[in-house]
Amino acid sequence: MMGDTLVTGAAGFIGSWLARRLLDQGHAVLTIDNLSSGDIDNIPERCERIIGDVSDPAVIARLDGRTFDAIYHIAGQSGGIPSFDDPVSDLNSNVASTLLLLDYAYRAKCPVFVYASSMSVYGDQELMPVVETAPTVPKSFYAVGKLASEQYMRLYAERGLACTVLRFNNTYGPGQSLANLRQGMVSIFLGQALSSRRIHVKGSPDRFRDFVHISDAVESLVLAGAPTHGARFTVYNVATTHKTTVRELVETIRGNLPFPVEVCYEGSTPGDQFGIYCSYKRIHADLGWSPTVSLTEGIANTVAWALATQMSGRLR
């Protein structure tokens, strides 16, 4: 039996996939989630559960006396658009939670703290693929919060806590909410197509992104949390270095659906980057990680999952 691992946000998309993977590896997994956006059914039954907010000191206090081989902080508000609705709430969800959890990890002498950050911290860049040393010019409150959390990690790393930041590019795949139309480009378009046979594209179809399948994203988390990693503070892009335009993504989704879908173009989204794709050379060199699922394959299995979910009446 491997050691205990803490996963925040395990009722959500990435967190639930990670929790299942860690359980399969033999870890005992404790999860914390406030269920504000995730679904309790996503948390594997074998996990020990705390239902509460990571930004609540009383919830963190429940960890006192526990030891973990690794802490994965996945929880938080996960989109740029909602951060404009309530910047203070975004701050509490994404920054206060990180600081409280970092302080606990430091006091508990946790071997490694892994944080799910975002490529949004880069803002708009001229040189691509974007590398980890590129300037950070966040364009949304969400991105500012992610970058602030990274800086708190840097400070705790200077005090001796091993911290790893993973800057995820657009992560997608089976299990992502198809009902949340404010986060996740693939899931938004697919959810719209299934519910109305129409896709609403906000902004130019020439905008572009770097899409990472959930199975590859989870593999990067597992590698980053391995005790053999040992670096005090490291930042990694989790990316494919493949540029995909919004137009190409929409056509790939439409090509996998068994019915026609209309595409409508509308106004832009506040704080949205026009385009970005990133280098994964550093994480490949240090951890041996590389993407394995192509966008063609990934969209095909995601659409197949969504259609099966809709047929079963469990679409959410």
Which residue numbers are catalytic? 142
Q: Where does residue 200 fall: left (phi above 0), alpha (psi -120 to 50 degrees), or beta otherwise?
A: beta
Residue among 210, 84, 102, 86 at smallest CA distance from 148: 102
Distance CA(100)–CA(257), nearest Å, equals 44
Q: Say how far residue 168 (Cα) sits from the centre of its chain.
A: 6
Token pair for 256: 């996998």
Residue among 243, 257, 274, 247 at smallest CA distance from 192: 257
DSSP string, 127-188: SSSB-TTS-----SHHHHHHHHHHHHHHHHHHTT--EEEEEE-EEE-TTS-SS-TTS-HHHH
Token pair for 49: 């559960």
Distance CA(91)–CA(112), nearest Å, equals 24
Distance CA(250)–CA(253), nearest Å, equals 5
C-alpha gyration radius of the chain:
19
Distance CA(279)–CA(259), nearest Å, equals 36
In this structure, the dihedral spanned by the alpha carbons of residues 59, 60, 64 and 69, taken in order and rounded to 10 degrees, is: 120
Bridge partners of residue 8, in order along the sequence: 32, 73
